[in-house]
Amino acid sequence: MDSFNLVESFAQFARDKGIDRPTMMRILEDVFRTMIKKRFESDENFDIIINVDKGDLEIWRSREIVSVDFFEDSFDYNENKHIVITEAQKVDASFQEGEEFSDEVKIEDFGRRLVTTARQTLVLKVKDLEKDLLLQKYKDIVGELVTAEVYQVLGKEILLVDSNGSELILPKQEQIQKDRFRKGENVRAVIHRVEMINGQPKIILSRTSPVFLERLFEVEVPEVYDGLISIKKVVREPGERAKVAVESFDDRIDPVGACVGMKGARINSIVKELNNENIDVINYTENQELLVSRALSPAKVISMKINRETGRVSVYLKPDQVSMAIGKGGQNIKLASKLIGLEIDVFRELDEQDDEDVDLNEFGDEIEGWVIDELKKIGLDTAKSVLAVSKEDLLRRTELEEETIDDVLGIFKKEFEQ
């Protein structure tokens, strides 16, 4: 392969990969200098001239002209750095000792083996650079919304391609539980993280991240995109429920109304994208008590006590509001706690005429006192209030063992069956 074909084929390959001209020049010079060192041991006295547009390559070697005696007697003579005057004068009779002699080294002088190695090295360097560029490109847009096409559905992940043909990955754990995608479908998600694994860039997408929901609001609500409405915080149980705290920077704009839209048009588009995830949009306030009340919506709070030292808030509600405050499987209270940054304990304000529920103290002969106290610590003071919370939530919020919780739930269920 001559120098023209070598440079031209590399340049075309690099252009196809989106490599810019200065980078192409740098890679070419690095590879050719490596090739020179392998052939001549040093590249100090070599100049490389490359024109990637025309495919031109010139390699010039500069050598000092020395006398015949120097050649015959000196151990310092190096044919790569010196040339005997008689040889130099064959080219130009006017050459003198001590002058610099420059001659062009042809690519063919390096031998087929070195040239083949150089070509392979060039291709590998471009591929490595392509990986680095892809990695950096997506690192710069982590958290941004992208649309990509599904090209393969696997058991643990979905493989997609973007408009540039780059491979993206949507792992099972980053999919909404109800997500079902087929080959050829377009999928919206956010760039969740970017990492290099075994020398290959991996771009991981997410549809479960709170950031995904935030980006969907930016798409569907112009006021959010324009910065007139700020999304203060997003908490989610992906595919089930989410709470979004919003604030308006314009007193004339109702942030909740703007996010919901006329007849729910805006919020419905987001809900559809999230497979009917129930979204509560809450008007943010610096008043923590008011924010707690709004976060527990649709339940209506009677009173509360905030203990900032322990990071807990005790909320008191009417008996018929407790289940709404806790929500299905404890979702509502869990999300409300995350939204305000405090652990919420719900307490019932007992109605004297409420005979349908049973106070926990009534089970003192069947359940140990410390277990009852543990339940009361998280605001559960009646049998029905405990049954309204999922076992997983009880395990998370109390110090009770799973076996103990199973026994307690069994006792309460039996009570109401009777």
Whole-structure pTM value: 0.66
pLDDT under 70 in the chain at which residues? 1-5, 17, 71-75, 350-356, 418
pLDDT of 353: 46
- Say which residues have a Cβ less than 8 Å from residue 36's Cβ, sequence separation at least 6: 42, 43, 46, 59, 105
**Which CATH class, in words, describes the domain spanning 286-418?**
alpha beta
Q: Which homologous superfamily does the CATH classification assign to the domain defined by 141-208? A: Nucleic acid-binding proteins (2.40.50.140)
pLDDT of 188: 95
The CATH code for residues 3-136 is 3.30.1480
Query: Are the folds of 3-136 and 141-208 the same?
Result: no
Q: Where are the domains of the chain?
A: 3-136, 141-208, 220-284, 286-418
pLDDT of 29: 84
Got the DSSP string for 27-62?
HHHHHHHHHHHHHHS--TTEEEEEETTTTEEEEEEE
In the numeric block, which tokens belong to residue 36? Answer: 């020179």
CATH of 220-284, one of 3.40.50.2000, 3.10.20.30, 3.30.300.20, 3.40.50.2300: 3.30.300.20
- Is residue 348 within 8 Å of residue 381, measured between CB atoms? yes
